[in-house]
């Protein structure tokens, strides 16, 4: 092993989960149900979920925005880490997927702390900005369509307070970011965003090789 991150074999990843994962029964059941679907890979990994939940506690987040909710695992894991007066605005366009999400939020008793907005996320973010909620949020998790990744980030920065954190998911995109033959809109958008963020002086950053790659950006 050199300076790089350890190569996580299947066995080693199993060990990591066995000796660190504290998944609640609701999270586990939701993950199992989502695993049956073809696009189950849109769900974050359980270790990433636990990392995000810990981060919620570390920064004592109370107000969170999630851009891209899918079947609700990330919102649920963050909601379970929030204090009683905390809440999450969850943005998604799919009634079908978020119906599953709501079922598990209810089961876990956190449905009241998650405000689901079924609309294009950029619309919801603009509504929040126009309503004067700028500089009020502690954390934004961006995990939606990749073409708008920069747009979501810019809106998030406006809504975050100083010291607030943006988490951007899928920044390594299954390795496609370094595949020159891949010029799809999604891949190019993620590449452009990563290149942009490296030099964005408004934030402190760290790109973490967890899940499909997660960048943490802290607003200065
Ligand atoms: Ca994702």
For 105-141, what is each residue's pLDDT tens digit?
Answer: 999 999 999 999 999 999 999 999 999 999 999 999 9
How far does residue 168's CA lie from ligand 1's centre (Å)? 9
Q: What's the CA-to-centroid distance between 29 and ligand 1, angstroms?
A: 19
CA 6 to chain centre: 23
List, in order of start, the domains of the chain with CATH numbers: 10-219 (3.40.50.150)
Cα(120) to centroid(ligand 1), Å: 17
Q: Encode pLDDT of 42-68 as tens digits.
A: 999 999 999 999 999 999 999 999 999
Task: Tell me the mean pLDDT in the region 20-28.
Answer: 97
Q: How far is the CA of 199 from the centre of ligand 1 (A)?
A: 23
**25-42 tens-digit pLDDT:** 999 999 999 999 988 999
- Alpha-carbon gap, residue 154 to 65, rounded angstroms: 14
Distance (Å) from CA 209 to ligand 1 centroid? 13
The CA 161 to ligand 1 mean position distance, Å, reads 24
- CA of 42 from ligand 1 middle (Å) equals 5
What's the 113 CA to ligand 1 centre distance in angstroms? 22
pLDDT, tens digit (0-9, with 9 covering 90-100), for 143-190: 999 999 999 999 999 999 999 999 999 999 999 999 999 999 999 999
| pLDDT of res. 5 | 83
Q: Return the beta strands (E) in the chain as ranges.
A: 63-67, 87-92, 114-118, 137-142, 160-169, 203-208, 214-219
Cβ neighbours for 185, distance < 8 A, ≥ 6 positions apart: 146, 147
7/127: higher pLDDT: 127
From ligand 1's centre to the CA of 73, what distance in Å?
11
How much is the pLDDT for 4?
Answer: 80
pLDDT at 1 > cutoff 60:
no
Residue 131 alpha carbon to ligand 1 centre in Å: 28
Buried b (16+ CB within 10 A) or exposed e, 175-187: eebeeeeeeeeeb
| Centre of ligand 1 from the C-alpha of residue 211, in Å | 8
Distance 169 CA to ligand 1 centre (A): 5
pLDDT attached to residue 2: 63
DSSP code at position 44: P
């Amino acid at each position: 092993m050199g300076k790089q991150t350890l190569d996580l074999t299947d066995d080693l990843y199993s060990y990591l989960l066995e000796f660190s994962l504290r998944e609640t029964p609701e999270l586990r059941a939701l993950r199992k149900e989502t695993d049956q679907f073809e696009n189950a890979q849109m769900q974050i990994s359980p270790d990433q979920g636990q990392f995000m939940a810990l981060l919620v506690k570390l920064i004592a987040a109370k107000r969170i925005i999630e851009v891209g909710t899918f079947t609700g695992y990330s919102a649920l894991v963050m909601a379970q880490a929030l204090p009683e007066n905390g809440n999450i605005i969850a943005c998604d366009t799919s009634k079908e997927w978020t119906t599953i999400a709501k079922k598990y939020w209810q089961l876990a008793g956190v449905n009241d702390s998650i405000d689901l907005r079924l609309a294009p996320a950029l619309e919801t973010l603009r509504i929040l900005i126009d309503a004067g909620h700028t500089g009020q949020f502690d954390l934004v998790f961006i995990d939606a369509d990749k073409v708008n990744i920069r747009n979501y980030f810019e809106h998030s920065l406006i809504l975050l307070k100083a010291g607030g954190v943006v988490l951007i998911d899928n920044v390594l995109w299954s390795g496609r970011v370094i595949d020159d033959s891949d010029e799809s809109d999604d891949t190019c958008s993620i590449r452009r965003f990563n290149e942009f963020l490296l030099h964005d002086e408004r934030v402190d950053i760290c790109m973490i090789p967890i899940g499909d790659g997660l960048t943490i950006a802290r607003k200065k």
